[in-house]
Amino acid sequence: MKSIRAMKKMGMSIGLALLVFGGNAIASEGPMAERKAQFQERCAADPAKCEQAKERMKARHEKLKEKCAADPEKCQQMRERIQERREACKADLEGCKQRREQHREQRKESAS
């Protein structure tokens, strides 16, 4: 498995990296373990769809790298906002979980 530092240099989030490259030792419990298990179940059920999803993630990652190369300052600001949100979630795990569920419900409603 690639090192987390190398993945961060590439601009890949740790969560995405764990989903794509594995990481059983790191994501053996908690929400990441659940997401990884769901991802693996979906991939086992439909490998072709899974490959398409991986390709979309890879394309999205490449596009983000290009944007960051074009405007590194904006990219750094985005990373700082993400880090602030992560720290806020660590401080209030339950509130963060509730907000995440609300967003999921909103996306389901808008997709319908």
Domain ranges of the chain: 4-111
Q: Please state the pTM of the whole predicted model.
A: 0.49
Instruction: For residues 90 and 37, give the distance between their C-alpha atoms in angstroms, rounded to a whole number.
Output: 22
Stronger pLDDT, 55 or 39, i.e. the higher one: 55
Q: Are 82 and 64 in contact (CB under 8 A)?
A: no
Q: What angle in degrees, to the nearest 10, is found between the helix axes of 47-70 and 72-91?
A: 120
Tokens 């794509």 correspond to: 20
The alpha helices in the chain, defined as continuous H runs, are: 4-9, 14-21, 31-45, 47-70, 72-91, 93-111
Six-digit token string for 51: 């490959």
Percentage of the chain exceeding pLDDT 90: 34
6-45 pLDDT, tens digit per residue, is 545 555 555 555 555 544 444 456 677 888 888 888 888 9
3-state DSSP assignment of residue 12: coil
| Through-space distance between the first and last CA atoms of the chain, rounded to whole angstroms | 38
